[in-house]
Structure 1
Amino acid sequence: MHDRAAVARATGDLGTARELARRAADEFQVVLGLEHPYTMAAWTNLAVFAAEWGAVPQAYELLQPVAERAARVLGPDHPDAIRAEANVTLIRRDLLGPSPDEEQEVLQRLVRALGPAHPAVEAMRERRYLHRTLDPQPF
């Protein structure tokens, strides 16, 4: 379902993407728990889809606790934790305006974690939300 949400987003069907992402996040949470990396990735993508849909305040409310949880569970230097923090930074930018120092700091952390040519790094440089793809699930 999570991958179907990504396909719907890629084809421009943000409403379907958001609906499928919500179902995926809910189901991952039930099966794997809130602190599982797949669950956090699914909630991150749901927040990103919401922001892209135009529901930026709701996206912030969804993502802020996920970013805090990812930093606590995975560690603040884990790529998924940095991705979530980068998205929080971009959502705050949409809500409150630019914060160049904060954006640069998150970008540098992404570069250290993923390398300068990684697609997530490129997305942050271009101030695009960072999506998280998932490996095939074993269930």
Structure 2
Amino acid sequence: MTARANLATSYWQAGRTAEVILLLEQAVADFERLLGPDHPDTVTARANLAASYGQAGRTAEAIVILEQAVADFERLLGPDHPNTVTARANLAATRVETDTGESDAGS
């Protein structure tokens, strides 16, 4: 799972968004199956997938996933945990990009 997520990061850096999405969708499924939906690593994988959706212009999907990631991180790790803060910032950036018509998502 970690190797797949790392490969997705490399693809992201290379701008290979479609391949990133496929890898992250598989990684999310693996994390959910092996660690459960409430494990912080699973939530992180979902948030990374949402960022990729945003980068691909799939902002409506990205926002839904990021809203859930923020809620999950707040519940699991607290409102001030770095993962929660990052997810909240990514959600805000994705919402702004949607409002301005841009398609590049932050991470």
TM over 0.5: yes
Give the Cα–Cα distance (whole angstroms) in 2 for the partners of residues 8 and 31 of structure 1: 24
In structure 1, stretches of 5+ residues that fail to align are 98-126, 131-139
Percent identity between the aligned chains?
28
| Aligned positions of 1:1-139 closer than 5 A | 1-97=4-100, 129-130=106-107
Q: How far apart, in 1, do the equivalents of 2:98 and 2:52 lie?
A: 16
Structure 2: runs of 5+ lacking an equivalent: none
CA-to-aligned-CA distance 1:29-85 (integer Å, 9 cap, x gap)? 111111211111100100000000111111111211111110111000000011111
Q: Which consecutive aligned stretches of 4+ in structure 1 deviate over 4 angstroms post-superposition? A: none
Which protein is bigger by CA-based radius of gyration? 1
Structure with the higher helix share, 1 or 2: 2
Counterpart contact for 2:27–2:45, Cα < 8 Å: yes
Query: Amino acid of the residue matched to residue 87 of structure 1?
Result: N
* Distance in 2, Cα, partners of 1:128 & 1:51: 5
Q: Deviations over 1:85-113 (max 9, x none)?
A: 1111011111235xxxxxxxxxxxxxxxx
Q: Give the TM-score normalised by the residue count of structure 2.
A: 0.88
Q: 1:70 to 1:46 in 2, by over 3 A?
A: same
